[in-house]
């Protein structure tokens, strides 16, 4: 997947870049409105990560520009403005999804993947990894074709892990992904633990490999090299 990151903060841009490159994506950076415009005209990208607040223009303008030029890339809007109207304007202006700073990189990644699936893989809703198959439409997960009896939250968790395989996922990032930002659930990491435990049990019960590792002190990791 080829991604353009339009972000004026060099540190954030480089963090995203490092993260995505490790994922095997081709990732280009643009630090300003003009630079982004130029790159969008010259090359084509599968996805654009777009910061709304740019020093020399508004990201929403860039959305308009993409529409006019008929650029088909998926767009994930990044913004420090946690404002409702910004969100709505961004999504109405052609953004596919929206994430607010500060975000977790795996969360950004999961959303990017979702946009990519909807846009590029012509809405393919089947994700497979070895013996695990996830259907994002029906929210069904199966191991070797055997349907797992899992809850919505467990499905989301498994999807999050698979999309971010081989990455350490902090409990915070998992909690935020599953329950959103509104809930002040810092104290509730035991919930994450509980969900992971249940998920592992259910995968083992269906004779799936135990891919989920606990990384001491940090969180969890979907270890793809386990067989």
Q: Which residues bind other proteins (CB under 8 A)?
A: 9, 11-12, 15-16, 18-19, 22, 80-84, 100-106, 151, 153, 167-168, 170, 172-173, 179, 181-188, 190-191, 194-195, 215-219
- Compute the least distance from the CB of residue 28 to other proteins, in Å: 18
| 47 vs 196: CA distance, rounded Å | 30
Residue whose entry in the numeric block shows the structure tokens 């280009």: 28
- Compute the least distance from the CB of residue 181 to other proteins, in Å: 6
- Compute the least distance from the CB of residue 26 to other proteins, in Å: 18
Q: Which is nearer to other proteins, 71 or 105 (CB)?
A: 105
Q: Which is nearer to other proteins, 68 or 184 (CB)?
A: 184
Residue 221 near residue 212 (C-beta atoms within 8 A): yes
Q: Which is nearer to other proteins, 142 or 185 (CB)?
A: 185
- Compute the least distance from the CB of residue 172 to other proteins, in Å: 5
Q: Which residues contact 89 (CB under 8 A, 6 or more apart)?
A: 60
Burial of 122 from C-beta contacts in 10 A (0-12 / 13-18 / 19+): exposed
Q: Which is nearer to other proteins, 66 or 196 (CB)?
A: 196
Task: Compute how many other C-beta atoms are within 10 angstroms of the C-beta atom of residue 44.
Answer: 12
Q: Which is nearer to other proteins, 60 or 66 (CB)?
A: 60
Alpha-carbon torsion angle 149, 152, 157, 158, nearest 10: 40
């Amino acid at each position: 997947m080829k991604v353009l990151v339009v972000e004026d903060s060099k540190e954030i841009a480089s963090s995203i870049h490092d993260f995505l490159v490790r994922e095997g994506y081709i990732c280009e950076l643009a630090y300003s409105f003009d630079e982004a415009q130029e790159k969008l005209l010259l090359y084509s990208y599968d996805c654009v990560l777009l910061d709304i607040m740019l020093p020399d223009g508004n990201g929403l303008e860039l959305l308009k520009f993409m529409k006019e030029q008929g650029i088909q890339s998926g767009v994930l809007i990044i913004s420090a403005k946690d404002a409702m109207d910004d969100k709505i304007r961004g999504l109405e202006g052609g953004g596919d999804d929206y994430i607010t700073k500060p975000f977790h990189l795996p969360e950004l990644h999961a959303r990017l993947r979702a946009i990519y699936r909807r846009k590029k893989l012509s809405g393919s809703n089947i994700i497979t990894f070895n013996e695990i198959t996830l259907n994002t439409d029906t929210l069904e997960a199966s191991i070797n074709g055997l349907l797992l009896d899992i809850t919505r939250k467990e499905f989301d968790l498994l999807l999050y892990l698979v999309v971010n395989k081989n990455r350490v996922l902090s409990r915070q990032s998992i909690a935020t992904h599953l329950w959103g930002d509104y809930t002040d659930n810092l104290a509730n990491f035991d919930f994450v633990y509980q969900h992971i435990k249940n998920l592992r049990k259910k995968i083992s019960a269906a004779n799936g490999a135990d891919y989920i590792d606990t990384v001491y002190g940090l969180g969890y990791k979907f270890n793809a090299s386990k067989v």
